[in-house]
Amino acid sequence: MQYVVAIVAVCPLRSEASHRSEMVSQLLFGEGAEVLEAGKDFTKVKCLYDGYEAWAQTSQLAEVDEEIAKAVPVGYTFKRNTIVALNDAPMHVPLATPVFRNTFFGKYKVEYTDEETVLFDASFYTEEVIRMVALLYENVPYLWGGKSSFGIDCSGFVQQVFKLFGKHLLRDTYQQAAQGGSIGFLQEVQCGDLAFFDNAEGRIVHVGILLNSEEIIHASGNVRVDTMDSYGIINRNTGLRTHQLRVIKRG
């Protein structure tokens, strides 16, 4: 098998091998993938973290050994904008970028010049820390297919927050809704539970992180804190109901 890692801060993943094709997800700098179909301009990959399959621009990838692609990071960047060096040139990378320390991605020399990294475990999954981590993304603009602090969608947001705690979520909202156990009543929620919302056809289309039984942080226009009740989300700025609650899950 052939493996690659992203060598740009944020590598778009597209549904088809074209720049005009829909962006469905992203690889952050250093994240690994298995090559499914190699091409001159675009390469079809399978992300090692969540199994997502899509097309990446070939020039934004570096071929690496399996050991490098599957390496466990020593931590993750913990600022919206961190500087690393790629072949001695500075590059700004987003929050939650994996850190492997000084290494090589194929022919590319990598140095992590900013030392502010974290690697939480389940013992840190407390209300205080969950709220602090989630609010690092506050006001990041919504971007379909995004999963970085430069632009993010709802499922990308919760996936990245959970990743920092060593909690593994799949990429899309409907996939995440199939994980974990259900919570029967809003009054029983704990900070860090996930609320899922459906559309008029009953399809799950949105997700957010509950901070308590009355507040939710989610990516909708931007990453924001809104009011929550047993029917769904109420926008704090407009007072309008924006999302219909379907189910609450705990990982």
Are residue 29 and residue 127 in the same domain, yes or no?
no
Q: Confirm whether 92 is a catalytic residue.
A: no
Q: Confirm whether 19 is a catalytic residue.
A: no
Angle at 164 between CA 90 and CA 47, to 5 degrees: 75
- Mean pLDDT, all residues of the chain: 96
Residue 30: per-residue pLDDT: 98
8-62 tens-digit pLDDT: 999 999 999 999 999 999 999 999 999 999 989 999 999 999 999 999 999 999 9
For 24, the domain range is 3-118
User: CATH number, domain at 181?
Assistant: 3.90.1720.10
- Give, to the nearest 10 degrees, the angle between helix 127-135 and helix 154-163: 130
Residue 123: per-residue pLDDT: 85
225-243 tens-digit pLDDT: 999 999 999 999 999 999 9
Are residue 176 and residue 214 in the same domain, yes or no?
yes
Residue 228 near residue 220, CB atoms below 8 Å: no
User: CATH number, domain at 105?
Assistant: 2.30.30.40
Give the pLDDT band of residue 119 (cuts 50, 70, 90): confident
Residues 6+ apart with CB under 8 A from 133: 120, 161, 164, 165
Are residue 86 and residue 101 in the same domain, yes or no?
yes
Closest CA to 86 of 56, 60, 116: 60
Residue 122 is classified by DSSP as G
Neighbour tally for 35: CB within 10 Å: 19
The active-site residue, picked from 11, 154, 191, 243, is 154
The active-site residue, picked from 11, 47, 191, 206, is 206
Q: Confirm whether 168 is a catalytic residue.
A: no
Indicate the residue among 103, 118, 133 that finishes a domain. 118
137-188 tens-digit pLDDT: 999 999 999 999 999 999 999 999 999 999 999 999 999 999 999 999 999 9
Are residue 38 and residue 93 in the same domain, yes or no?
yes
Closest CA to 7 of 81, 70, 93, 83: 93
55-91 tens-digit pLDDT: 999 999 999 999 999 999 999 999 999 999 999 999 9
Q: Is the pLDDT of residue 129 over 90?
A: yes
Number of structural domains (the chain) is: 2
Which H, E and C letters describe 156-200, residue by residue?
Answer: HHHHHHHHCCCCCCCCCHHHHCCCCEEECCHHHCCCCCEEEEECC
